[in-house]
């Protein structure tokens, strides 16, 4: 397979995953803001924007944080290079470039999602359409993954695409978690209050983890247990542990196909060992924010390693 | 009520009866409900959008990707008509191939005084690098598109030879797919020849042209300028259907005397490159130094026998419109036979007598730029305003050698489906021809292009023309 094609498949899935996660994060922010008064709602929107590292870009454009500005910035603003609209467009451009490496079904799933979402986001969204937009964007992710798993040959292209998905998902989930822990609470004295538990509930919902969490924990809402669930529980498909287990499998499959291991496999092993040695107590002792920052860095290093090992660019 | 406005209509004979080729189709059509057909018509467009069968238009922000209008009434050709066309095309294509070989070697045809030397001297597609070099298997034109028009039951003319990188074959295939999905019952009632094995035949034909040093199964790759090229869909489609890699210039480099593509395992050699970029962009070391679409040094590898480039560089010398006017002589010179498929009468404006005639009869003629393509830069006399005629008169006088003129042919019409039923529109036909040392192959079918506006003679997709499925009937 061409290095450029591998690169295209990897980024096709990263962009899709980024679009989906932006929508998920936005949904969490939207629900939190709905239940707050105007002053705190502003804080929450600031946190949402900051979680995706878009504060500078946003503040270049807007002096205040309002919901209308924030969701339109995240979803469709032409000045935001990582808006949902831009990411779906980039995913589709990548898919076009690698069309002969993906199944017709997958191409059509991506192309149709792009057609629907670009129609949906052609104009600024009013409050009462945000919920529907988020649902459609999330569903696009589900349809694409379904098409992939149901129609794609399990060749190296499939593994590059999946590696892109899990690299990006791990990054996004870490950002969502970081937003909650680091940014949302007015002060530490709010830990354990209804504001706190309400926010955790939204974080769970944003990763579709609320129901799974309730099954496992019978109604408890507690920061430690939730963090343990989202970081260490490798049964849940949006936990960091799950993403890195899956990523490690994809990279191992690639190494087997190529008959050699590269830098990315070594980095992956280190990261996996670090995660499996961790306990929830260890994470809190170290500080969640610090842990997440290091996790994100290691995750990025793996992505860079993949690009080098498989000659993504000349 | 369907009324043809041309002298010859593909479906309806002069006495008003349905021509034999269309009888079965017309019987079926008359049984259909118009609202059902209307719905199918809309479904087809949705299907083309969803599968992304579009072409890109440069410089149009609003519609970066456009659909080529698809018409669901097939253009139908009988088996005996097709046999006749096939013989004529084979004759013409083998003559073209021999002609190009001759031009880059002894130039017998010039020495014999059958074509003027200036045609070569002034030909921008002429490549000095090809002089004295014979491509693998002796093949120059691996894939050719011959544009045909029809003016009567037995009157087919060649309008143009596309010997460089003819496009449109993906539409031939996709139009058939769409028709089979929309009207499966038609294909059980009417015996239509298959076109679907074109990609397999193309792959085989290209592989048969691999350079002498190839070991094992030849590696074939399709070279595209990239996703913003107007024909990108076709490039991706053909690579996909052939199971070949779709490469861009940046994926390739020359190493150890071979052209190699950058894969996830390192560089792997390519044996046959089906390129869809123009000569000028093929090798920045030899041609356009600013181009990033090609591969530095590929011409050296080519000349040393390390790769096959299809179509061969420099092949364009044969499909210049000035050369076109000499095709009857060319066919005769190399095959020793009279051409089976006639040219359209052509006045070469470089010749003073012809120019005088053209200037006197401008309002009745079609004038084309010698190096133009895609329906650009042409004048259709009968449809032109006084101002347009005056402007062309000036251009012709200033640079006569840049133009040829032809009579306005009464192109045949073929029905298209409209809101108010069938309506006649002008059509042409582009069959696709494959050439390898093993022989010449023509898939029974082709791309029928159709003017979507009433009375219009312009069928080019860049000018709003549409396409339809082309049926060659079995005996």
DSSP state of B96: H
SS3 A93: helix
Of A2, A97, A99, the CB nearest to B262: A2
Residues B450 and B353 in one domain: no
SS3 B217: coil
Mutate which of A78, A100, A119 to test chain B, going by most B C-beta atoms within 10 A?
Answer: A100
The string of pLDDT tens digits covering residues B339-394 is: 999 999 999 998 999 999 999 999 999 998 887 655 567 888 888 899 999 999 99
- What pLDDT does residue B349 have? 92
Q: State the average pLDDT over residues B441-469.
A: 88
Q: Is the pLDDT of residue B1 over 50?
A: no
The string of pLDDT tens digits covering residues B262-283 is: 999 999 999 999 999 999 899 9
CB atoms within 10 A of CB B420: 8
Cα distance between residue A301 and residue A267, in whole Å: 7
Q: When comparing pLDDT for B321 and A295, which is higher?
A: A295
Burial of A301 (0-12, 13-18, 19+ CB in 10 A): middle
- What pLDDT does residue B430 have? 97
Cβ contact, residue pair A258, B262, below 8 Å: no
Residues B456 and B377 in one domain: no
Q: Is the pLDDT of residue A6 over 80?
A: yes
Q: Is the pLDDT of residue B204 over 90?
A: yes
Last residue of a domain, one of B407, B429, B447: B407
Q: Which residues pair with B262 in a beta bridge?
A: B267
- What pLDDT does residue A114 have? 95
Given a contact cutoff of 8 angstroms between Cβ atoms, the answer to whether B167 and B460 are in contact is no
Q: In chain A, which residues have their Cβ closer than 8 Å to the Cβ of B239?
A: 100
The CATH number of residue B373's host domain is: 3.30.1490.270
Q: Which of A193-202, A238-247, B121-130, B213-222 has the lowest mean pLDDT?
A: A193-202
Q: State the average pLDDT over residues B61-67.
A: 62
Q: Which residue has the tokens 């239940």?
A: A35
Given a contact cutoff of 8 angstroms between Cβ atoms, the answer to whether B347 and B173 are in contact is no
SS3 B256: coil
Given a contact cutoff of 8 angstroms between Cβ atoms, the answer to whether A75 and A133 are in contact is yes
β-pairing, B432-436 with B439-442? antiparallel
Cβ contact, residue pair B236, A100, below 8 Å: yes
Burial letters A129-154, b for 16+ CB under 10 A, else e: ebeebbebbbebbebbbebbeeebee
* A222: closest CA of chain B, how far (Å): 46
CB atoms within 10 A of CB B254: 20
Q: In chain B, which residues have their Cβ closer than 8 Å to the Cβ of A2?
A: 245, 247, 251, 261-264
Q: Is the pLDDT of residue B403 over 70?
A: yes
Cα distance between residue B384 and residue A157, in whole Å: 54
Q: Kindly list the domain boundaries of chain A, sorted by start residue.
A: 3-309
Residues B403 and B413 in one domain: no
Cα distance between residue A231 and residue A226, in whole Å: 8
Cα distance between residue A148 and residue A157, in whole Å: 11
Cα distance between residue A82 and residue A76, in whole Å: 9
Cβ contact, residue pair A3, B264, below 8 Å: yes
* A12: closest CA of chain B, how far (Å): 15
Cα distance between residue A230 and residue B113, in whole Å: 84
**What sign does the dihedral B193-B194-B197-B199 (CA atoms) show?**
positive
Q: State the average pLDDT over residues B308-323.
A: 92
Cβ contact, residue pair A96, B52, below 8 Å: yes
Q: How many domains does chain B have?
A: 2
Of B237, B247, B262, the CB nearest to A311: B262
Cβ contact, residue pair B51, A99, below 8 Å: no
Q: In chain A, which residues have their Cβ closer than 8 Å to the Cβ of B261?
A: 2
Mutate which of B48, B52, B238, B262 to test chain A, going by most A C-beta atoms within 10 A?
Answer: B52
Q: Which of A60-69, B63-72, B158-167, B228-237 has the lowest mean pLDDT?
A: B63-72
β-pairing, B347-348 with B266-269? unpaired
User: Residue B357: which domain range?
Assistant: 347-407
Within an 8 Å CB–CB cutoff, is residue A153 touching chain B? no
Residues B154, B159, B162: CA angle, nearest 5 degrees: 125
Instruction: Tell me, yes or no, whether B417 lies in a domain.
Output: yes
- What pLDDT does residue B390 have? 93
Within an 8 Å CB–CB cutoff, is residue A139 touching chain B? no
Query: pLDDT band at residue A142, thresholds of 50, 70 and 90?
Result: very high
* B433: closest CA of chain A, how far (Å): 24
Query: pLDDT band at residue A179, thresholds of 50, 70 and 90?
Result: confident
Cβ contact, residue pair A100, B49, below 8 Å: no
Q: In chain B, which residues have their Cβ closer than 8 Å to the Cβ of A314?
A: 250-251, 253, 262
Backbone φ, ψ for residue B448 (5° rounding): -95, 120
Cα distance between residue A182 and residue A64, in whole Å: 21
Q: In chain B, which residues have their Cβ closer than 8 Å to the Cβ of A159?
A: none
Instruction: Tell me, yes or no, whether B460 lies in a domain.
Output: yes
Within an 8 Å CB–CB cutoff, is residue A111 touching chain B? yes
Of A2, A6, A258, the CB nearest to B247: A2
Cβ contact, residue pair A2, B50, below 8 Å: no
Q: Which residue has the tokens 């491509």?
A: B135
- What pLDDT does residue B60 have? 47
Q: Which residue has the tokens 């670009």?
A: A118
Centroid of chain to Cα B416: 22
Cβ contact, residue pair A1, B251, below 8 Å: no
- What pLDDT does residue B37 have? 93
Cα distance between residue B235 and residue B169, in whole Å: 10
Residues B158 and B174 in one domain: yes
Distances A310 to A9, A233, B120, B268, B269 between C-alpha atoms, Å = 12, 30, 47, 14, 17
CB atoms within 10 A of CB B101: 18
Distances B153 to B407, B415, B443 between C-alpha atoms, Å = 19, 16, 22
* A306: closest CA of chain B, how far (Å): 10
The string of pLDDT tens digits covering residues A199-255 is: 888 889 889 888 899 889 877 778 889 999 999 999 999 999 999 999 999 999 999
Residues B375 and B468 in one domain: no
Backbone φ, ψ for residue A67 (5° rounding): -55, -45
- What pLDDT does residue B61 have? 47
DSSP state of B464: T
Residues B87 and B117 in one domain: yes
Q: Is the pLDDT of residue B41 over 60?
A: yes
Cα distance between residue B273 and residue B165, in whole Å: 12
Cβ contact, residue pair B262, A3, below 8 Å: yes
Centroid of chain to Cα B466: 15
Residues B104 and B153 in one domain: yes
Cβ contact, residue pair B236, A96, below 8 Å: yes
* B265: closest CA of chain A, how far (Å): 7
* B186: closest CA of chain A, how far (Å): 26
Cα distance between residue B13 and residue B123, in whole Å: 43
* B248: closest CA of chain A, how far (Å): 9
Q: In chain A, which residues have their Cβ closer than 8 Å to the Cβ of B227?
A: 93, 96-97
Of A4, A112, A311, the CB nearest to B50: A112
Chain A residues 193-252 within an 8 A CB cutoff of chain B: none
Query: pLDDT band at residue B187, thresholds of 50, 70 and 90?
Result: very high
Q: Is the pLDDT of residue B328 over 60?
A: yes
Last residue of a domain, one of B407, B436, B457: B407
* B222: closest CA of chain A, how far (Å): 11
Query: pLDDT band at residue B246, thresholds of 50, 70 and 90?
Result: very high
- What pLDDT does residue A127 have? 92
DSSP state of B73: E
- What pLDDT does residue B435 have? 98
Q: Which residues pair with B425 in a beta bridge?
A: B414
- What pLDDT does residue A183 have? 66
Q: In chain A, which residues have their Cβ closer than 8 Å to the Cβ of B236?
A: 96, 99-100
The mean pLDDT value of chain B amounts to: 91
Q: In chain B, which residues have their Cβ closer than 8 Å to the Cβ of A100?
A: 236-237, 239-240, 246
- Any residues with CB less than 8 A from the CB of B309 and at least 6 apart, and which? B135, B273, B275, B282, B298, B302
E-strand ranges in B225-380 read: 245-247, 252-255, 258-263, 266-269, 272-275, 308-310, 347-348, 365-369, 379-380
Q: When comparing pLDDT for B363 and A38, which is higher?
A: B363
- What pLDDT does residue A314 have? 67
Cβ contact, residue pair B251, A108, below 8 Å: no
* A116: closest CA of chain B, how far (Å): 11
Residues B115 and B49 in one domain: yes
Cα distance between residue A36 and residue A115, in whole Å: 35
Q: Is the pLDDT of residue A89 over 90?
A: yes
- Name the residue among B150, B154, B156, B140 with its Cα closest to residue B93: B140
Cβ contact, residue pair B51, A115, below 8 Å: no
Q: Which of B29-33, B53-57, B227-231, B370-374 has the lowest mean pLDDT?
A: B370-374
Cβ contact, residue pair A111, B262, below 8 Å: no
SS3 A282: helix
Given a contact cutoff of 8 angstroms between Cβ atoms, the answer to whether B428 and B449 are in contact is yes
- Model pTM? 0.90
Cα distance between residue B453 and residue B461, in whole Å: 12
Cβ contact, residue pair A107, B265, below 8 Å: no
Instruction: Tell me, yes or no, whether B15 lies in a domain.
Output: no
Q: Which residue has the tokens 């609320």?
A: A210
- What pLDDT does residue B63 have? 44
Q: What is the ipTM metric for this complex?
A: 0.86
The residue of chain A with its CA nearest to that of B229 is A97
Q: Which residue has the tokens 């002069």?
A: B14
Q: Sheet of B245-247: strands edge to edge?
A: B245-247, B220-223, B272-275, B308-310
Given a contact cutoff of 8 angstroms between Cβ atoms, the answer to whether B234 and B168 are in contact is yes
**Cis before A54? omega within 30:** no
Alpha helices by DSSP H, listed for chain A, are 3-34, 38-51, 55-61, 67-76, 84-97, 104-120, 127-151, 156-178, 194-206, 210-217, 223-227, 240-258, 263-277, 280-286, 288-309
Q: Is the pLDDT of residue A187 over 80?
A: no
Q: Is the pLDDT of residue A185 over 70?
A: no
Cα distance between residue B103 and residue B120, in whole Å: 8
Q: Which residues pair with B76 in a beta bridge?
A: B471
Which phi-psi region, left, alpha or beta, contains residue B453 (left: φ > 0; alpha: ψ -120 to 50)? beta
Q: In chain A, which residues have their Cβ closer than 8 Å to the Cβ of B225?
A: none
Cβ contact, residue pair A314, B266, below 8 Å: no
- What pLDDT does residue B62 have? 43
DSSP state of A188: G
Residues B414 and B328 in one domain: yes
SS3 B309: strand
* B84: closest CA of chain A, how far (Å): 37
- What pLDDT does residue A117 have? 96
Last residue of a domain, one of B407, B425, B458: B407
**What sign does the dihedral A275-A280-A282-A288 (CA atoms) show?**
positive
* A277: closest CA of chain B, how far (Å): 33
């Amino acid at each position: 397979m061409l290095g450029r094609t591998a690169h295209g498949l990897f980024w096709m899935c990263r962009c899709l995953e980024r679009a989906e996660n932006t929508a998920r994060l936005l949904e969490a922010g939207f629900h939190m803001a709905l239940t707050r008064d105007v002053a705190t709602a502003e804080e929450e929107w600031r946190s949402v924007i900051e979680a995706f590292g878009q504060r500078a870009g946003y503040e270049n454009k807007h002096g205040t944080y309002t919901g209308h500005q924030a969701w339109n910035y995240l979803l469709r603003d032409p000045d935001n290079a990582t808006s949902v609209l831009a990411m779906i467009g980039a995913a589709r451009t990548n898919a076009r470039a690698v069309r002969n490496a993906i199944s017709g079904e997958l191409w059509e799933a991506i192309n149709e999602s792009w057609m629907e979402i670009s129609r949906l986001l052609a104009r600024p969204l009013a409050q009462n359409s945000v919920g529907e937009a988020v649902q459609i964007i999330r569903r696009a992710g589900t349809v694409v993954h379904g098409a992939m798993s149901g129609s794609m040959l399990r060749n190296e292209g499939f593994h590059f695409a999946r590696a892109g998905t899990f690299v990006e998902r791990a990054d996004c989930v870490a950002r969502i978690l970081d937003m909650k822990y680091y940014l949302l609470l007015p002060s530490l004295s709010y830990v354990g209050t209804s504001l706190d538990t309400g926010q955790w509930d939204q974080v769970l919902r944003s990763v579709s983890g609320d129901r799974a969490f309730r099954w496992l924990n019978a109604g408890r809402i507690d920061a430690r247990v939730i963090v343990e669930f989202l970081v260490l529980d490798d049964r849940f498909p949006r936990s960091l542990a799950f993403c890195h287990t899956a990523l490690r499998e994809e990279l191992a499959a690639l190494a087997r196909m190529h008959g050699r291991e590269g830098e990315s496999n070594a980095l992956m092993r280190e990261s996996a060992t670090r995660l499996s040695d961790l306990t929830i107590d260890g994470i809190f002792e170290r500080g969640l924010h610090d842990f997440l920052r290091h996790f994100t860095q290691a995750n990025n290093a793996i992505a860079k390693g993949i690009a080098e090992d498989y000659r993504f660019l000349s | 009520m369907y009324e043809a406005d041309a002298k010859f209509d593909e479906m309806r004979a002069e006495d008003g009866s349905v021509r034999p080729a269309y009888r079965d189709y017309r019987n079926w059509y008359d049984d259909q409900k118009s609202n059902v057909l209307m719905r199918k018509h809309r479904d087809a467009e949705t299907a083309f959008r969803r599968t992304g069968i579009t072409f890109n238009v440069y410089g149009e922000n609003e519609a970066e990707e456009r659909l080529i209008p698809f018409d669901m009434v097939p253009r139908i050709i009988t088996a005996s008509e097709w046999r006749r066309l096939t013989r004529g095309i084979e004759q013409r294509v083998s003559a073209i191939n021999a002609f190009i070989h001759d031009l880059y070697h002894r130039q017998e045809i010039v020495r014999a005084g059958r074509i003027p030397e200036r045609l070569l001297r002034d030909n921008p597609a002429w490549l000095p690098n090809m002089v004295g070099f014979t491509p693998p298997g002796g093949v120059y034109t691996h894939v050719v598109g011959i544009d045909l028009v029809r003016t009567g039951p037995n009157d087919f003319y060649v309008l143009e030879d596309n010997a460089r990188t003819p496009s449109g074959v993906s539409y031939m295939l996709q139009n058939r797919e769409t028709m089979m999905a929309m009207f499966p019952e038609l294909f059980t009632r009417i015996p239509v020849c298959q076109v679907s094995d074109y990609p397999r035949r193309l792959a085989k034909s290209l592989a048969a042209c691999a350079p002498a040093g190839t070991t094992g199964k030849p590696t074939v790759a399709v070279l595209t300028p990239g996703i913003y090229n107007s024909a990108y869909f076709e490039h991706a489609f053909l690579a996909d259907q052939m199971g070949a890699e779709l490469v861009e210039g940046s994926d390739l480099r020359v190493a150890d005397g071979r052209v190699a593509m950058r894969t996830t395992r390192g560089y792997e050699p390519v044996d046959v490159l089906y390129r869809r970029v123009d000569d000028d962009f093929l090798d920045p070391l030899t041609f356009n130094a600013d181009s990033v679409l090609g591969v530095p040094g590929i011409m050296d590898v080519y000349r040393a026998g390390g790769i096959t480039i299809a179509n061969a560089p420099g092949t364009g010398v044969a499909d210049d419109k000035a050369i076109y006017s000499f095709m009857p002589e060319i066919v005769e010179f190399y095959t020793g036979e009279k051409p089976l498929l006639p040219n359209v009468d052509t006045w070469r404006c470089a010749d003073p007598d012809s120019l005088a005639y053209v200037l006197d009869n401008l309002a009745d003629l079609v004038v084309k730029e010698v190096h133009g393509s895609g329906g650009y830069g042409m004048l259709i006399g009968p449809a032109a305003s006084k101002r347009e005629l005056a402007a062309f008169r000036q251009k012709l006088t200033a640079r006569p050698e840049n133009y040829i003129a032809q009579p306005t042919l009464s192109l045949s019409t073929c029905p298209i489906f409209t809101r108010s039923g069938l309506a006649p529109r002008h059509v042409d036909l582009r069959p696709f021809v494959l050439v390898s040392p093993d022989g010449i192959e023509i898939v029974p079918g082709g791309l029928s292009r159709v003017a979507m506006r009433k009375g219009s003679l312009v069928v080019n997709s860049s000018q709003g023309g549409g396409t339809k499925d082309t049926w060659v009937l079995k005996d």
